[in-house]
Amino acid sequence: MKWRVMVEVTGEEGAVTQHVISEGKRTGAGQAATLGLSLSEGKATLAGLQRVLVMAQADAHCRLRRRCGHCGASRPLKDHRSRRLVSLFGTVEVRAPRFKPCRCGVACRRSLTPVAEIMPDRCTPEYERILSGMGSALPYRRARALLAELLPLDAAPDVETVRRRTLQVGARLERAALVPPDEGSSAPATAITLAIDAGHVKSIKTYQVRSFEVMLARVGNDQGREVVFSSLPTEADRQVRQLHHVLRRLGATATTPVTILSDGAEGPRSLGAAASVGPIRNVLDWFHLSMRVQHVAQAVKGWATAVPDAAERTTMLDDAVTRLRWRLWHGQTERALTLIGDLLTDLDAALEAADDPPARKVAALLRALETYVVGQADLIIDYAAARHRGEAISTATTESTVQRLLHRRMGANQQMRWSPRGAHRMLKVRTAVMNGTLAADHAAAEPYARRPFRRAA
């Protein structure tokens, strides 16, 4: 069996041309390996179709631009050159004629290269978007190998090309994030929850610090919409305004209450407060508070294992820690502090009688918990009642966001270090991929691309 794939192109004037894209034959019958197209044949077919379409579109644009827009005469031909366009379906080399200025001298007084107008960056925007998306999701070498395996590229892009394209798209997304949303683009929200936390990325050695901090937030409204926001404070361009625009796109108004969930640190909490447009309510994340109580419970269990003679005392202490967790869960801060004080009094008396390292560790953790509860007392709420009302009480989803955005691509488990600027731009692309808006954001950021040509008149 023989087969041939042909394409028919109809021009603006109605002229029809036919082109053979690919052809082949099958000799074996009844074999699964010969059914349909193989990967190499599919790549050749796509590459041939892309070549015919690009050349036809380039020729049509050149004919259109050759005619002077003022007098209607044809511009004189200066010379012919070639220009290459890299796309997802192969590299196409087309003829790029250059035209002299029209003799009327009104519309354009310099040479004109029409192909450069439609191929400003010598690659398609879709190629750039896919390259940046793959480069943000996978290590650059792995992304390069995957693209070469599946797409009909003549030559896989270099690792440096993948890196450079990814960071260029990230820089454009950073500028586009400063554009305010359109008025009335989203319905007003009744309530908004802003869960914000910080992560850390290993720094390059020349930056003279071990790691730097990254702000990550997960913003959701009462309509079920959620948006992930990431920013590196030292490199972000007006990060408060960017987060403010995220809130506006989710329907935040001057009367929309915003609940800010944080671990109590001043940096994330102040960022959320500065970006909010309506009344705010700061809430201490239950996850961080519960983990501090858990550290005390684990120290008590370690004490019981190390000193079997103190089993009765550690059992009573374990019950007291359970009551302490219950009081904090119900927002009873004063009663929780009273219980911590009573436990510390008993432990101090026991330590005066005999020095016990496990007991000293429990006392140190209790004092740290007491200091934390006193400092965050205004942010502790009745978590049980809030959970019953269906309100958010934890930044657990934000912790998972930190894992997905930072640790899977930029985390401590991988032997890689980042500059602040590179990490910030990479996060911009990864955040757009996670939100599912990379295609729309990339198109919106196109005006901020620095193209290597000046658009013709």
Chain segment 98-112, per-residue pLDDT in tens: 988 887 866 667 788
Q: Mean pLDDT across the chain, nearest whole number? A: 85
User: Residue 457 has what pLDDT?
Assistant: 39
Q: Please check the confidence at residue 253 and state whether its pLDDT lies above 70.
A: yes
Per-residue pLDDT of 380-409, as tens digits, reads 999 999 889 888 888 777 777 787 888 778
Please tell me which residue, 29 or 174, carries the higher pLDDT value.
Answer: 174
% of the chain at pLDDT higher than 70? 95
CA distances from 229 to 216, 220, 243, 402, 433 (A): 6, 11, 7, 11, 12
Which has the higher per-residue pLDDT, 364 or 302? 364
Q: Lowest mean pLDDT: which of 45-54, 195-204, 437-446?
A: 195-204
Rounded-to-integer distance, Cα 143 and Cα 150, Å: 11
* Domain locations in the chain as residue ranges: 2-113, 287-379
pLDDT of 32 > 90? The answer is no
- At 107 the pLDDT is 63
Tell me the mean pLDDT in the region 172-184.
Answer: 86
| pLDDT (tens digit per residue) in 264-288 | 888 888 888 898 888 988 999 898 8
For 145, the 3-state DSSP assignment is: helix
Give residue 184's pLDDT.
67
- Which range of 183-192, 319-328, 389-398 scores highest in mean pLDDT? It is 319-328
Is the confidence at residue 328, as pLDDT, over 90?
A: yes
For residue 454, the model assigns a pLDDT of 46
pLDDT band with cut points at 50, 70 and 90 for residue 451: low
Per-residue pLDDT at 206 exceeds 90: no
Instruction: Evaluate whether 60 touches 14 at the Cβ level (below 8 Å).
Output: no
Q: Tell me the DSSP string of 292-352.
A: HHHHHHHHHHHHHHH-GGGHHHHHHHHHHHHHHHHHHHTT-HHHHHHHHHHHHHHHHHHHH
Q: Nearest CA to 196 among 101, 260, 251, 138?
A: 260
Percent of the chain with pLDDT over 90: 21
Mean pLDDT of 404-430: 82
Tell me, what's the pLDDT at 455? 47
